[in-house]
Each structure stands twice: as structure tokens, then as C-alpha cells.
Amino acid sequence: MPSSTLHTSTDDGVLTVVFDNPPVNVLGATTMRELRDLLLPLREDPSVKVIVFESANPEFFLAHVDMNILDQRDVLEELAAAAPEGVNVFQAVGELLRHQPQVSIVKLAGKARGGGAEFVAAADMAFAATETAGLGQVEALMGITPGGGATQYLRDRVGRNRALEIVLTGQLFDAPTAAAYGWINRAVPAAQLDEYVAEVARTIAALAPGVVAAAKRALPPTDFGSALVVEDEAWASLVGLPAAQQLMAAALEAGAQTPEGERDIESVLRKVSASVLNGQ
């Protein structure tokens, strides 16, 4: 399948999707459109039982939503027109993934924050490298709240108290902690991650016809309904405010969306926030 930010390969019922959007794999409008164009036709393809998502960049799975995403307004408008009623374009990515008939698995070697962490939470399963993986919802440090499903996906996975901790601290959580919280399935030593995920995928893909589909029908994803509308309203009430716009612009100037800045984007955002909010 021709794609500019996704590479795919198929082997015995397992489709591997590799995110490749240098330098740090931000989740931009083009990637969202390509995910939609990939996943929708797969709903009618019984030959694929498992979809494994990984990254071409070992440091970054999906950094977060592109802070320059409005530069792709035409693609965003196309995505908005096609999004299901009651969800925004960012939530549509997670909802599409959550309702795939195939089993979706994230292989997380590096970091996933913001919209990238939301993608991880939307997948059916996630396995992360103990030594190198990390997850964080950094939106609060940008003056906003998550707008791509995180508030609901996290509450469903880790409970309200831990969801509030994740959303409001903006901290980066290591793989063992994320596994203990229930955010991911388990932490796996980095040297074993590839083979571990491959074995899980092979085991599921080798099941008799109909078993995967029946299991997913019996264990359907939670229907969040109007809660996603509330999340979108909360996000929309903040994203256009001067504070949020100033914080994101200053973050880009300070190194966000570069490999150096993204390695510890939490520190970058906290410094920017202290400067902007104190009027310096």
C-alpha cells in the first residue's frame, strides 16, 4: 500500500505497520488519513487477524500530535467531514482502531506521548520495553487537556484516580509503572520485545477461523458515547486560548518536535510554562 508515513508488510495473517514520520514521528494529519485509509478496508479482509504497530525510530513510537497540524487544514477538513458523528478528528483515530475486527497490538520500544499515548491506549494490547519505553499525557503542560480519547481510554484502563494523575501531572511513566497501572499489558526486556510480540501475534493469527472475531464480539470495546463529546468540549474550550497558543509556540521555539527536545519534552514544557505563565 503506497504511503508516505506508514510502511506495511504481511506474514501469515499478521499485518505489521511501521510508523515512519521523521524526525520524531509526530502524529500529523497525513498519518491520520493514512491510518484511516489502511484500517477501513481491512475490516473486510478476513485474511488479516492481527495488526502490529511499531516505529521505524527506536526512540519515538508516536511523539504526540503535530503542533503544526493546522498547516494541514485541508486534510483536517477532509478527516472532519468523514469522522463519525460525536467524535472529533483525533478521537476518530482511536475509535477506528478500537473497533477493528482484527486484534491490534502496539510494540512500544520508545516514547509515546499525547496523541501517541492515546493511540497506545486505543489498541487492544500493548507491550513495552522495560528499559526504554515511556508513556505520558503532556497536554496539561501545553495549557490544554487531552482531546483524542485519553480521558476515557485511561479511565477505562487504569481507573479515575490514576487517569487524573496521568492527565494532570504530565509525567512520563516508565513501562513497569504503566504495566502496574494497567495502561499496557506488560513490560518486556528490550532484547526480548521483538520476539515476544511476534510470538503473541503468531499465536493469535494461528487460531481457527472465526475465533478472533468471536472473541472480539464477546469482549467489545466500551461505548463512551457522549463522554467523548464532553472531552472534546473540554479540549476545545482551552486550545484556542492565548495561554495555550503561547505555550505551544514557545515549546516549538525551545526544541519541541526535534529529537533533542523530545527526549525530555516534559522538562522543556515545564520551563516554557514557567516563563510564559509568569509573563517573562
SS3 breakdown of the chain: % helix, strand, coil, rounded to 5?
50, 15, 35
The predicted structure's pLDDT at residue 162: 98
Does the domain at 6-205 match CATH 3.30.360.10? Answer given as: no
pLDDT tens, the chain, 280 aa long: 456 999 999 999 999 999 999 999 999 999 999 999 999 999 999 999 999 999 999 999 999 999 999 899 999 999 999 999 999 999 999 999 999 999 999 999 999 999 999 999 999 999 999 999 999 999 999 999 999 999 999 999 999 999 999 999 999 999 999 999 999 999 999 999 999 999 999 999 999 999 999 999 999 999 999 999 999 999 999 999 999 999 999 999 999 999 999 999 999 999 999 999 888 5
Domain boundaries, the chain: 6-205
The predicted structure's pLDDT at residue 279: 80
| Cell numbers found for residue 127 | 507491550
The predicted structure's pLDDT at residue 3: 67
Residue-by-residue DSSP string for 141-189: GGTS---SSHHHHHHHHH-HHHHHHHHHH-PPEEHHHHHHHTSSSEEE-
DSSP 8-state symbol, 88: -
In 3-state terms, what secondary structure has residue 24?
Answer: coil
The predicted structure's pLDDT at residue 188: 98
Q: Is the peptide bond before 23 cis (omega within 30 degrees of 0)?
A: yes
